[in-house]
Amino acid sequence: MFGPHLIIDGSCCDTRKLGDRILVEQILAEYPTAIGMTKIGGPYMFEYQAPDPAYSGISGLVVIAESHIAIHTFPELDYFTMDVFSCKNFDIEKAISFIRDAFDVKEMDRMLVQRGLSFRGPHHGEHGATDELIAAAEERLAAGIVSKETVDPAQYGSADMRTERDAAAARRAGPTLLPGADAGHMLWPQYGVTPDYGSYGAAAGAHTHVPSRASGVLASGAEQAPAVIEAVQVNPTASVSGLLDKLSTTGGQARRLGQALASWESLARDPDTTIALALSTPVIAAGMRELLVFAVEHRYADLVIASSEDLAADVYEALGFTHVMDGDGVSASAKGVERVRSAMAAFLDGSEPGSIGSAADLWRGLGAWLAQHAPRKGVLQAAAAAGVPLFVPDLASGLFGTLLLEARSRGAAVTLDPAEDSLALARAVCGTPRLGIVRVGEGPADALVAQARDIASSLDLAEPTLTRSVSLGTSRALGAGEWHVALAADATLALPLMVTGLAQRVPGVRRPATPIVAKAQEPALA
């Protein structure tokens, strides 16, 4: 007998888990150890968008020394199929129980097939291999067929050199020694699995931050020895999330990029944190519109502070126009700018008297109007639909300020009070016990957030604790400590990587536990 092949078909599951690529990846990463197998490759993950969405899903494969483990999920159909093929016996019931618990499976079909009935090779003993197979494996290692990396066992195995997340990652992925190999002198290649320790199970959503592998400080604040720099290995199948997690163990700006994603992920997983996205540097004209729309729709930000220039670029693109590179800068067509002006005039002139009494009314109303009149979706539409309030620090001096004055001269009933806008932001910022800030550049958005926090006491609001912040395009962090990360890299480079990684780690729409309130005596927008 070569070995057992367990076939599992499951249904009546938690379909959110079936569609969670990172969770499926983590389950596959932990499965071999759970059933006594030896992982040597993967998980290799693939997402397929079928012509019929019902047949879209996630596929994953783990290569184990004993054979392989594969899964295919169909979230829309509430179904998955799985194969566990091994050249040695394993605890079938444990393998079934692990998957049943992982996906909350209520109905399961399983079949056990004995493979290799005509196989005449050496049989496996109690510890997984005969002496002949061990010798063959050592020959492959000596020949360089298996990648190896020399490490200092005194350092790599030292408890003082690891955070808890490090230890958890090590338990899942290595170091794994071939039988007969010298301890501490070989690590299997790393395959870009995204460690997500503490993100699932009882610790899901906990606001106590779990240190990344790049950290030299525990959550309790106890100092540890400096973190080890790990060499990056090329992995053609790595996810963006997995790559950035690996970068957090390197140095320089790459390390900060990985840390920045970890900080934003921690914010997104905490329902009692308000996330403010502060855009002091305009980025929409540089191609970030759809990316920001995704972030708003998935509530990776609970409120957005953007310049008048950025929102004008958003309306310009929503109306079907395209920005172009003009030398080293970005420019808009005169026709498109005129179309923005005429669209804004049409919206303001058509508004009901008294319907625009605050900036929140203005942006919410404009977003709803654009949803009916613009061919593309922009940040304004996404924010209006998701109940994410928008704030503009330079409304009076920007293009929209001019258009508002022109509309008032024509008799449009528009009354805006800048002080009320600041009060509304203060209420929104203080809507939850904790605050996180993702900022792009330095400038007016920072000042507006600082003012909102300062006036909290006058509103009898408890000022939230700024737990962590991410600063892009600047070397200055908002606060002290490891989880206030400043990334000097341009936001147009960092944002696509971070939002993509975040989408892989926190799929679905995030909703805060406490509603965000934009103005006094108003129902929650969300």
Catalytic positions, written as ranges: 67, 72, 87
Distances (CA, A) of 515 to 454, 506, 512: 21, 20, 7
Nearest to 470, CA basis, from 437, 492, 447:
437
CA distance from start to end of the chain: 60
How many C-beta atoms lie closer than 10 Å to residue 104's C-beta?
A: 14
Coil, strand or helix at 525: coil
User: Which DSSP string do the residues of 22-74 spell out, in sequence order?
Assistant: HHHHHHHHHHHHHTT--EEEEEEEEEE--SSGGG-EEEEEEEETTEEEEEEEE
Which residues have a Cβ under 8 Å from the Cβ of 84 and sit 6 or more positions away? 5, 6, 8, 35, 69, 90, 95
Distances (CA, A) of 292 to 103, 283, 303, 413, 452: 31, 9, 12, 31, 23
| Cα–Cα–Cα angle for 102, 209, 471, rounded to 5 degrees | 120
Give the C-alpha separation, 49 to 16, whole Å. Answer: 16
Q: Where are the alpha helices (DSSP H) in 58-130?
A: 92-103
Task: Answer whether 480's CB lies under 8 Å from 221's CB.
Answer: no
Whole-angstrom Cα Rg for the chain: 27
Task: Answer whether 318's CB lies under 8 Å from 362's CB.
Answer: no
Task: Answer whether 99's CB lies under 8 Å from 106's CB.
Answer: no
Task: Answer whether 16's CB lies under 8 Å from 502's CB.
Answer: no
How many C-beta atoms lie closer than 10 Å to residue 276's C-beta?
A: 26
User: Which DSSP string do the residues of 346-410 spell out, in sequence order?
Assistant: HHHHTSPTTSB-SHHHHHHHHHHHHHHH-SS--HHHHHHHHT--EE-TTTTTSHHHHHHHHHHHT
Give the C-alpha separation, 100 to 483, whole Å. Answer: 36
Give the bridge partners for 79, in sequence order. 11, 74
**Three-class HEC string of 423-463:** HHHHHHHCCCCEEEEEEECCCHHHHHHHHHHHCCHHHCCCC
Give the position of tokens 């929140």.
360
Which residues have a Cβ under 8 Å from the Cβ of 170 and sit 6 or more positions away? 162
